[in-house]
Structure 1
Amino acid sequence: MLTRTGAAMACTAVGLVALGGWADYPELVVLGLGAAATLLVASAWLFVSPRLTVVREVQPHRVFEGNTARGTLTVTNIGRRRSPGLLVTETVAGHRTTVPVPALAAGGSCTAGYPLPITRRGRYLIPAVEVGHSDPLRLLHRGHARGGELVVHVYPRVHPLAMITAGGPHDAEGPTVNSAPLGGVAFHSLREYVPGDDWRHIHWGATARTGTVMARHVVVPDEPRQLVVFDTSSASYPGTLFEDAVRVTASFCVAAEKAGLPFELRTTGARQPGPSALEFLSTVDGDRTGVGLAGLSDLVRDVVADSQGVALTVVTGQVGDEAAQLLMSLRSRFLSVSLAQLVTADPGTRPRGVLAVAAPGSEQFAADWNRLVLR
């Protein structure tokens, strides 16, 4: 491929030959042919590619907004002759980063590190790097793709949030249910021994009375669950407040995880989170056709508060009278209901019996929330 210098050289060669022929000026023709010959020599220089191995690593593959991810390239010359200086080009989200690699002797290697230009949340598909070299005059450039594709997730920025622990009991011997997962320490009931059960769970008294080997059925206690509902309707957020709402939602999820509380994330849009809430939030977009909080009743219909102990947190923008009435009607189904609003003006109606905090940004919301919860 011609570089800018090579393109100028090619145009000069054509122009000199044409001008020399038109003006019957052989010296110009000779100069033009000399320029063309230089391009041919540069082509011959690039005909033989150096034998190289390129190892690329990106750390970390998952990073929060505001933090940096770095790429590392290790280039090794496995050929028998010295390799020329190289230019390794990394393309991320349309941004090209060029890393120079010096000439390498046979068997020599070089490692270079560089920051990746990923500052906004998202899922970045990083294609294979391009390893290229040029002739000594930089007239031509030849590149080859090396390595495979990599994926880097940039999670939303999170702020430390205090959790409301009114969502139910949180101790080793809390209430249990039949559907609770095995492997905990809370006693739920007695049942017949099943091959593979821990023999230490055998209840010898019950075994002697019934004549059947009985074992203690121990499960994980019914811990309080946190249900976070994120309103993804674009109409709920003016300006750039949708990004702040994403950060607040991520902050609630991370706070629940750090507190050891089971949590679930749901959205008012058609697209629902998968196993990883943060990976979902790294790519979620505002839903222009979403119904917003109008569909909240259907979204939480399967949640039964009195048997599961669920605390509901709703992240949204402006809340009208209709949505406020809906939140108040749902209050009896949950042990607590919290409302996080990202607004630039008066938040409007505040639902009774609901812990509501409104702020014009995620950082201010975190400060106001912690001040209210921790007081």
Structure 2
Amino acid sequence: MSAVSRLRRTGLTSTGAWMALAAVCLTGAGTWADYPELVTLGLAATGALLVAALWLLATPKLTTVREVRPRRVFEGSAAQGTLTVTNVGRRGSPPLVITETLGGDRTTVTVPALAAGHDCTVSYPLPVGRRGRYTIPPVRLGHSDPMRLLQRGRAAGSELVVHVYPRVHLLAMNTFGGAQDAEGHTTSNAPLGGAAFHSLREYVPGDDWRRIHWGATARTGTVMARHVVVPDEPRQLIVLDTSSAPYTGTLFEDAVRVAASFCVAAEGSSLPLHLRTTGGAERESSGTALELLSTVQRDSADRGLAALPDLVRDVVTDTQGVALVVVTGRTDAAASQLLMSLRPRFLSVSLAQLVSPDAALPARPHGVLAIAAANSEQFATSWNRLVLR
């Protein structure tokens, strides 16, 4: 993107501030004490500031192209900024100081002096710590006079957005959730072209002749063909509790990481994914789910797992199985009873609980695959050990 100058600001550097103070003090003291040498020193300091101001009047003509890759990263990964500065003016440009700001953290890079028509490309790491959606403001270009008394800066380019996704852990999919099967459950409106037999129907010109069922054709006197479709795949419904009550400390962050890990695991197994939060947000693909999870927050007004029956009412059907995964903090007896009442409606119900290590382990609901852990990493270890055994 081409640089667009928005706001030019000129100000004193720390050296310039001391120089200005010296100019005022020396001139004032020399005048009061009738000491011409002090007045001369004060005027010299003032002259240096004026020369610095005149130097900065000649602003170099520069264009910039900025890139940030990748724009979507996971916690703990690195993002890289690349800036190409081109001097399109007729005179050389002084050394520049480039300032990037991401999430309140500043990164400063120096660009050397550029002759007319020359360019320079610099790369620098960008801090991407906690999950979130970060808006990177326009890059700030700054330069100063040779004596470093004054500095002038301007914003160039446009804003960029970087998504920092929650950290994910490798999770095995729960086989009780219904493995994909080429001869699995089928429906008449399922996509054609699969390998699962659904029914027999009359042959239609253009059908693959290898699908003709010769036995049925001989019995009926009508050419019959096998109607094959893509079998229904078990969907993964992941519900993240976004209420405040179940979590203490940083356990909510671990719960978000667990939910993100289940989303990535479902996508890796090519299973349809549906993510919902008890606050009402929902997504139906791994990419959009991770974007939601990068910004989701706890809400004290959230009903928590009490909203679960309403959240799953429209998801469960008679023609397609659903595996339910609930991610929350510490649960009470009412939540356990609720999960047990929902269990017959799903292929499986899994409960991920992020609890304080010094807290008593919550009761495990009957028929529910429940795992309690102190953080997301411990949960992933316990889950994989249980599912893969």
**TM-score (structure 1 length as normaliser):** 0.91
2:306: which partner in 1? Answer: 294
1:336: which partner in 2? Answer: 348
Moved more, 85-94 or 219-228: 219-228
Secondary structure, counterpart of 2:177 in structure 1: coil
Aligned-pair distance for 1:187? 5.6
| Alpha-carbon displacement from aligned partner over 1:142-164 (angstroms, at most 9, x marks no partner) | 11211111111111111111111
Assess, with a 3 A threshold, how the Cα gap between structure 1 residues 51 and 216 changes in structure 2: closer, same or farther. Answer: farther
For the aligned residues, what is the CA RMSD?
A: 2.6
Pairing 1:225–2:235 present: yes
Secondary structure, counterpart of 2:175 in structure 1: coil
Aligned-pair distance for 1:185? 5.3
Pairing 1:367–2:381 present: yes
Aligned-pair distance for 1:219? 4.6
Distance 1:271 1:161 in 2: 23
Aligned-pair distance for 1:172? 3.2
**TM-score (structure 2 length as normaliser):** 0.88
Distance 2:247 2:368 in 1: 21
Q: Residue type matched to 2:117 in 1? A: G
Distance 1:172 1:32 in 2: 89
- Is contact 2:30-2:39 (8 Å) kept? yes
Aligned-pair distance for 1:182? 5.7
Moved more, 270-279 or 56-65: 270-279
| Alpha-carbon displacement from aligned partner over 1:52-71 (angstroms, at most 9, x marks no partner) | 12111111111111111111
2:276: which partner in 1? Answer: 266
2:315: which partner in 1? Answer: 303
Residues 18-29 of structure 1 correspond to what in structure 2 (within 5 A)? 18-29=28-39
Q: Residue type matched to 1:137 in 2? A: M
Unaligned runs of 5+ in 2: 1-10
Q: Residue type matched to 2:388 in 1? A: L
Secondary structure, counterpart of 2:94 in structure 1: coil
Q: Equivalent of 2:335, from 310, 323, 327?
A: 323
Aligned-pair distance for 1:29? 1.8
Residues 120-199 of structure 1 correspond to what in structure 2 (within 5 A)? 120-168=130-178, 170-181=180-191, 184=194, 186=196, 188=198, 199=206
Aligned-pair distance for 1:111? 1.5
Secondary structure, counterpart of 2:245 in structure 1: helix
Aligned-pair distance for 1:359? 0.6
Unaligned runs of 5+ in 1: none
Secondary structure, counterpart of 1:299 in structure 2: helix
Aligned-pair distance for 1:184? 4.9
Q: Residue type matched to 2:369 in 1? A: L
2:363: which partner in 1? Answer: 349
Secondary structure, counterpart of 1:35 in structure 2: helix
Distance 2:304 2:253 in 1: 16
Q: Residue type matched to 2:347 in 1? A: L
Assess, with a 3 A threshold, how the Cα gap between structure 1 residues 205 and 313 changes in structure 2: closer, same or farther. Answer: closer
Secondary structure, counterpart of 1:307 in structure 2: coil
Aligned-pair distance for 1:15? 1.6
Q: Residue type matched to 1:143 in 2? A: G
1:88: which partner in 2? Answer: 98
